[in-house]
Amino acid sequence: MSTINQNKIFFACCLSLVVTAMTFAIRAGILGELSSEFSFTDTQLGWINSMAFLGFPVATILGGLLYNHIGAKNLMIIAFVGHLLGLFLTIFSGGFWGLLISTFCIGFANGSVEAGANPLIADIYHENKTTMLNKFHVWFPGGIVIGALIAFAMTNAGMGWQLQIAVMFIPTAIYGYLVFTQPFPPMENSEVSTSTNVVSLFSPLYIFMLVCMTLTATTELGTQQWVERILGESGAHPMLILAMVTGLMAVGRFFAGPIVHALNPAGVLLSGAVIATIGIFLMSSASGIMVYVAAILFAIGCMYFWPTMIGFISEYQPKTGAMGLSLIGGLGMFSVSMWNPIIGSWLDEARAAALESGVSPGAADLAAGQATLTNLALFPAALIILFGALFFYMKKRGHEPEVLEKA
């Protein structure tokens, strides 16, 4: 029997998440170029963006249902094939519908990564789930840093969006090779039946966390995905802002262990909501150097949202199994897919109103971005109330994770 190398498997998972993040960052960086080349409105760009966030939950829901039957390795193979297909179709897309289809394929691949890797890592590191899930999710912001800097450098070098997309074939090939050549461990989540998983999804605490996930995901990803359109006229470079924000998030997630243990997951989420609200609110009125200051606060606020939500479910709702982890991640992305066209329409409407008032196009873009950020600040503001309630509930209940009895 082949020896299982947990380090190589973890590395393959991390690299697949880097690809996921690079698709996100590079897409954010080329929105302006796509708008110019195809004469898209921001609302049309919003629909294209939404396909990535729609493909993701479709894959995670299917992956959650099938995980106990096909395992993490097959889900990672599906992700690899989806990334290859999506990148290829994107490069050769000729307009709106082609980009819709190719972006959905990439989103489906990204969701397959999440559906396979999260429960796999929770199984491998079952004694330290939240900390290791945070270390895994280092590579979402880490990959965004890589993608943002690549987009910045290649754009400045006059390289088109097709070449920027093609760069992602390199890490895709590497993680695909590792997935195909490494033996994967048996699944601990399969010790809990699928029927038990389904029943556990109707826990009031789990449903409450689903609602919160729609807001945390939109706060983080809705803001980041539109950074080029929102901050393009703010006096700060959007791709450098994105690289800085996600770089801070990567560092924060890598050293998450002591913070999670000191504040507990509910305390981490509540603190993040407060700081993220302040950061987005300040960004909505900032210009020049102050945009960077506000963005730092936004990064600190959002850095633990996604992995801590996943870790919370893994620790306090373990009977939901892989299905629970996949569903909460999928619903988070689905909510972003629904909000993307709305965010685009906020930009279009605010820009039109500013132009009607007689300001220059640049000033109108700035006003539209600031108005959109004001709307986005409402998401983390709502989370302050919800996570405040969660914090006091968990304090009353006790913060010890639920332990599954082995069959």
Kindly report, residue by residue over 380-398, the tens digit of the pLDDT. 999 999 999 999 999 888 7
**What's the structural domain count of the chain?**
1
Task: Tell me, yes or no, whether 39 lies in a domain.
Answer: yes
C-alpha 249/C-alpha 303 separation (Å) is: 5
Tell me what the pLDDT averaged over the chain comes to.
87
CATH code, domain carrying 324: 1.20.1250.20
C-alpha 55/C-alpha 101 separation (Å) is: 10
Write the CB contacts of 380 (distance below 8 Å, at least 6 apart in sequence): 215, 219, 272, 273, 274, 276, 277, 280, 301
Instruction: Considering only residues 320 and 383, tell me which one the structure prediction assigns the higher pLDDT.
Output: 383
User: Smallest Cα–Cα separation from 313: which of 390, 405, 406, 407?
Assistant: 390
C-alpha 151/C-alpha 334 separation (Å) is: 26
The answer to whether the CB of 178 falls within 8 A of the CB of 8 is: yes
> Token pair 């995905």 is at which residue?
225
Task: Tell me, yes or no, whether 93 lies in a domain.
Answer: yes
> Token pair 């800097």 is at which residue?
149
Report pLDDT for 189.
Answer: 47
Query: Residues, the chain, total?
Result: 407
- The structure's pTM equals 0.78
C-alpha 253/C-alpha 218 separation (Å) is: 19
User: Smallest Cα–Cα separation from 310: which of 206, 189, 380, 391?
Assistant: 206
Q: Residue 212 is part of which domain span?
A: 8-185+200-397
Q: What are phi and psi of 192, to 5 degrees?
A: -105, 125
- Burial tier of 398 (Cβ tally within 10 Å: 0-12, 13-18, 19+): exposed
User: Smallest Cα–Cα separation from 121: which of 195, 193, 67?
Assistant: 67
Least confident of 125-134, 160-169, 350-359: 125-134
Task: Tell me, yes or no, whether 405 lies in a domain.
Answer: no
User: Smallest Cα–Cα separation from 145: which of 269, 212, 241?
Assistant: 241
Task: Tell me, yes or no, whether 192 lies in a domain.
Answer: no
> Token pair 């943002």 is at which residue?
148
DSSP 4: P
User: Smallest Cα–Cα separation from 64: which of 117, 14, 135, 130?
Assistant: 117
Report pLDDT for 105.
Answer: 94
Report pLDDT for 188.
Answer: 54
Greatest CA span in the chain, whole angstroms? 73
Task: Tell me, yes or no, whether 35 lies in a domain.
Answer: yes
Kindly report, residue by residue over 267-291, the tens digit of the pLDDT. 999 999 999 999 999 999 888 889 8
Task: Tell me, yes or no, whether 356 lies in a domain.
Answer: yes
Instruction: Considering only residues 36 and 372, tell me which one the structure prediction assigns the higher pLDDT.
Output: 372
How far apart are the two ends of the chain, measured CA to CA in Å?
A: 24
When pLDDT is averaged across residues 309-323 and rounded to a whole number, the result is 87
DSSP 188: S
With a pLDDT cut of 70, the percent of the chain lying above it is 96
Kindly report, residue by residue over 81-124, the tens digit of the pLDDT. 999 999 999 999 888 898 999 999 999 999 999 889 988 888 88
Q: Taking the CA atoms of the chain, what radius of gyration do you get in angstroms?
A: 20
Kindly report, residue by residue over 328-343, the tens digit of the pLDDT. 988 998 898 889 889 9
Model confidence at 2: pLDDT above 80: no
Kindly report, residue by residue over 180-225, the tens digit of the pLDDT. 999 888 765 455 677 888 889 999 999 999 999 999 999 998 888 7
Task: Tell me, yes or no, whether 3 lies in a domain.
Answer: no
Report pLDDT for 404.
Answer: 60
Report pLDDT for 1.
Answer: 43
Task: Tell me, yes or no, whether 343 lies in a domain.
Answer: yes
C-alpha 276/C-alpha 336 separation (Å) is: 17
